Amino acid sequence: MNYDDFADLYDHQYDLYRDDLHFYGGLAERVGGKLLEVGAGTGRVTSYLARRGADVTGLEPSARMLERARARAERENLVLHLVQGDAKTFQLETRFDLIIAPFNALMHLYTPNEQLQALENLRAHLIPGGQLVFDLSVPRYGQPATMRHEGETFYVGKERTDVFLVQRLDEVKQRVTTDYYVDTVGENGALRRRFFSLEQRYYTRYEVEWLLRCAGFESPRVQGGFQGGPLEMGSETMVFLTRRKG
């Protein structure tokens, strides 16, 4: 998935998302040391952690997303350490005490081979006993092949933008494709439509536990959200906390 064309919309959609910030901020404070964020995007989590004093490096494959992250850092008078790279193949000399992958970052690994390659690479960048923590959406989607408006409306000056989406599921490959139709009405009443497509690979709980063990991690602790409760039928998010073996 190439996020370069998607970066501006992504910022509008998720800039104010706060559900995970306190969780990852508290985790960084408890663990201390050096921290790597995988899938740093436009710097939403990275900048929050940096403001709280974390020694954080942000890893992101999209050049356009990194541009937005650097612009955010400049606005907020922060110095961010940002690296362009892919979770499967990046190579850094630093070994980290904690690696996090917030907000479904690992859902851009589309095959078991890609998933295992990425997890093994993350393990190689952890100190012995270092922690890996990430969250994934519970695979629960709306009516497929139906255009929906889920309350995403943005205003820039006198322009109004509405985001509509259509989702398609491939249950054999465990992939969900979300097509975004971004409609902007200008001051003169003219309508401009942009189209973006996002593909993600969703997971089941025990599949993730098995992958982690295969990649050299301890059996994880699994939460049903960022508040620390168990994973239940109604949970929207799975949070995995594990450590590097050896």
Return all residues near 61 (Cβ < 8 A) that are at least 6 apart.
3, 84, 85, 86
CA neighbours within 13 Å on the CB side: how many for 17? Answer: 15
- Compute, in degrees rounded to 10, the torsion defined by CA atoms 61, 43, 222, 204: -40
pLDDT > 70 fraction of the chain, expressed in percent and rounded: 99
pTM over 0.75: yes
State both tokens at 36: 């790597």
Note whether 207 and 183 are same-domain residues.
Answer: no
Note whether 155 and 65 are same-domain residues.
Answer: no
Residue 180 β-bridge partners: 165, 196
The predicted model gives 172-196 an average pLDDT of: 95
| pLDDT tens by residue, 76-101 | 999 999 999 999 999 999 999 999 99
CA distance 237 to 180: 22
The pLDDT value recorded for residue 1 is 59
| Domain membership of residue 69 as a residue range | 3-139+203-244
Instruction: Read off φ and ψ for residue 128, nearest 5 degrees.
Output: -55, 130
Note whether 21 and 73 are same-domain residues.
Answer: yes
What CATH number has the domain bearing residue 101?
3.40.50.150
Residue 42's nearest CA partner among 18, 73, 21 is: 73
Whether the predicted pLDDT of 7 surpasses 90: no
Cβ of 124: how many Cβ atoms within 10 Å? 13
| pLDDT tens by residue, 30-64 | 999 999 999 999 999 999 999 999 999 999 999 99
Residue 191's nearest CA partner among 222, 164, 225 is: 164
Note whether 182 and 209 are same-domain residues.
Answer: no
Note whether 182 and 225 are same-domain residues.
Answer: no
In this structure, of 11-15, 70-74, 124-128, 195-199, the range with the lowest mean pLDDT score is 11-15
Angle between helices 21-31 and 44-51 (to 10 degrees): 50
Note whether 186 and 208 are same-domain residues.
Answer: no
pLDDT tier at 192 (50, 70, 90 boundaries)?
very high
Instruction: Read off φ and ψ for residue 56, nearest 5 degrees.
Output: -115, 140
| pLDDT tens by residue, 119-169 | 999 999 999 999 999 999 999 988 888 999 988 998 988 999 999 999 999
Cβ of 60: how many Cβ atoms within 10 Å? 26
Note whether 165 and 229 are same-domain residues.
Answer: no
Angle between helices 44-51 and 63-75 (to 10 degrees): 30
Note whether 64 and 93 are same-domain residues.
Answer: yes
- The structural domain count of the chain equals 2
CA distance 194 to 142: 22
Note whether 80 and 190 are same-domain residues.
Answer: no
CA distance 185 to 154: 11
CA distance 98 to 174: 28
Note whether 174 and 209 are same-domain residues.
Answer: no
Average pLDDT score, the chain:
94
Note whether 47 and 134 are same-domain residues.
Answer: yes
Note whether 80 and 165 are same-domain residues.
Answer: no
The predicted model gives 209-220 an average pLDDT of: 98
What CATH number has the domain bearing residue 164?
2.20.25.110
Whether the predicted pLDDT of 2 surpasses 90: no
**The total number of residues written for the chain in this structure:** 246
